Structure 1
Amino acid sequence: MTTEVTTVGPDTPFKAVALLPATWNISGAPVVDEDDLVLGVVSQGDLLEREAPHGLLKPGSRQAKRKAGAAFVADLMTTPAITVHADDDVTVAAKLLEEHHFHRLPVVDDEGKLVGVVSRSDLLRAMDPAALYVSVHTES
Structure 2
Amino acid sequence: MRVKVQDVMTCEVVAVDEKAPFHTVAELLIQNAVSGAPVLDGDDRVVGVISEADLLRKQEFKQQYYGDDYRPPLRARVRHLTDHERGAYTKSFGETARDLMTSPAVVTTQDTSVVAAARLMDKHGVKRLPVVDAQGRLVGLITRRDLIRVFVRNDETIRLDVVKGLPLHAAARIDVTVTDGVVTLTGQVEKHSQAALAARHAENVDGVVALRDEVTWTDNDIADYIPIYGGA
TM norm. shorter chain > 0.5: yes
CA distance in 2 between partners of 1:42 and 1:132 (Å):
34
Tell me, yes or no, if structure 1 residue 108 matches structure 2 residue 132: yes
Aligned to 1:49: 57
- Residue 43 of structure 1, CA deviation: 0.6
- Residue 126 of structure 1, CA deviation: 2.3
- For normalisation by structure 2, the TM-score amounts to 0.53
Tell me, yes or no, if structure 1 residue 59 matches structure 2 residue 80: yes
Contact residue 50 and residue 76 of structure 1 kept, 8 A: no
CA distance in 2 between partners of 1:105 and 1:80 (Å):
12
Aligned to 2:70: none
Aligned equivalent of 1:120, options 116, 135, 144: 144
In structure 2, the CA distance between the partners of 1:132 and 1:46, relative to structure 1 (3 Å rule), is farther
- Residue 111 of structure 1, CA deviation: 1.2
Identity %: 41
Tell me, yes or no, if structure 1 residue 7 matches structure 2 residue 28: no
- Residue 48 of structure 1, CA deviation: 1.8
Tell me, yes or no, if structure 1 residue 23 matches structure 2 residue 31: yes
Contact residue 20 and residue 27 of structure 1 kept, 8 A: no
Aligned equivalent of 1:95, options 106, 115, 119: 119
Aligned to 1:80: 104
CA distance in 2 between partners of 1:132 and 1:19 (Å):
40
Unaligned runs of at least 5 residues, structure 2: 1-8, 62-78, 154-180, 183-206, 212-232
Aligned equivalent of 2:210, options 109, 134, 137: 134
Larger Rg: 2
Tell me, yes or no, if structure 1 residue 39 matches structure 2 residue 60: no
CA distance in 2 between partners of 1:49 and 1:95 (Å):
27
Q: Which structure would you say has the larger RCO, counting Cα contacts within 8 Å and 6 or more residues apart?
A: 1
Structure (1/2) with the larger strand percentage: 2
| Counterpart residue identity of residue 62, structure 1 | R
Aligned to 1:71: 95
Determine helix, strand or coil for the equivalent of 2:104.
Answer: coil
Determine helix, strand or coil for the equivalent of 2:17.
Answer: coil
- Residue 132 of structure 1, CA deviation: 5.2
Determine helix, strand or coil for the equivalent of 1:80.
Answer: coil
Aligned to 2:187: none
- For normalisation by structure 1, the TM-score amounts to 0.85
C-alpha distance after superposition, 1:70-93 (max 9, x if no partner): 111111000001000111111121
Contact residue 10 and residue 74 of structure 1 kept, 8 A: yes
Unaligned runs of at least 5 residues, structure 1: 136-140
CA distance in 2 between partners of 1:26 and 1:96 (Å):
21
CA distance in 1 between partners of 2:30 and 2:20 (Å):
17
- Residue 28 of structure 1, CA deviation: 0.9
